Amino acid sequence: MGYYECDTCTRRFRTSGACDQHMRDTNHFNQDDEYPYECRFNNANNLRMHLNSRVHKGTQMDCPFCDRSFVTATGLAHHLESGGCRKAPFLSRDRVYEIVRRQDPHGAISKNLLDWHGSSEYEATSASWNGDFYECVLCHREFNSLHGLNMHLKSPVHQQSLYHCPNRGCRSDFKSLAGLINHLESESCGYKRFATVQKHMGGMLSRDRMLTY
């Protein structure tokens, strides 16, 4: 069986439905083509996310290390946190958190985790087979392959939250910088406008900032 690959990041999925869901959740659709239909959406947030996508905005965020470009700061942050940048293999979710934490000593967006010593590492074996699927012992989600289960375990889903929304009226928690940025880009809590988020996060993820710390 073949895999369905995300248009933007390196994630692969067994089904097109799972791949589409991931790309909807992360705004990772490759929307280079012009669409011949009128933009119609069932709520204001979906329309706003569409208007901020590659269809109308183009590719704006360049990786400070390689030649990849992304529509939004969310895509760039995911690229760096997931270890997807071949020119910056030293970066990871943990390393990006350490860099952001040093830039954010007062904890505007990063959590002050005094007892944090890095992400927990999980790896499933053939013992995870329950007779029908490979089952995650932490959340009991089932996967068709051991590889799929281990990709799940390597994602931030079972890790500690590292960030929070800076809006005091929101304070939602996030396990990755990409998750926080995606929340801010959506303007769902009204903290910052999309363009302001792009400018601020683009500076935070610049090459100088990444290498200085």
pLDDT tens digit sequence for 67-119: 899 888 999 999 999 888 999 999 999 999 999 999 999 999 999 988 777 88
Q: Is the domain of 165 the same as that of 115?
A: yes
Residue-wise DSSP of 54-88: HHHH---EE-SSSS-EESSHHHHHHHHHTT--TT-
Same domain, 181 and 104: yes
pLDDT in tens, 131-150: 999 999 999 999 999 999 99
Q: What stretch of H or E contains 31?
A: none
Among 102, 84, 104, which residue's Cα sits nearest to residue 93?
A: 84
Beta-bridge mates of residue 36 = none
Q: Which residues share a beta bridge with 69? A: 62
Q: Is residue 148 part of a domain?
A: no
For residue 124, how many other CB atoms are within 10 A of its CB?
19
Is residue 136 in a domain?
no
Asked whether residue 83 is domain-assigned, the answer is yes
My answer on whether 77 and 110 are in the same domain is yes
- Predicted confidence band of residue 187 (pLDDT cuts 50, 70, 90): confident
Residues 18 and 74 occupy one common structural domain: no
Residue 12 contacts residue 4 (beta carbons within 8 Å): yes
- Report yes or no on 101 lying in a domain: yes
Are 13 and 112 part of one and the same domain?
A: no
**Are 112 and 32 members of one domain?**
no
- Looking at the structure, do residues 11 and 41 belong to the same domain, yes or no? yes
Q: Is residue 194 part of a domain?
A: yes
Q: For residue 163, what are the β-bridge partners? A: 110, 174
For the chain, the domain total comes to: 2
Q: Are residues 110 and 171 in the same domain?
A: yes
In which domain, by residue range, is 169 found? 61-119+159-205
What pLDDT is attached to residue 26?
Answer: 66
Among residues 148, 149, 140, 153, the alpha carbon closest in space to that of 12 is found at 148
Nearest to 14 by CA among 133, 100, 110, 102: 133
Task: Determine the pLDDT at residue 192.
Answer: 84
Tell me the CA distances in angstroms from 179 to 14, 85, 97, 175, 202, one per residue in order. 23, 18, 13, 7, 15
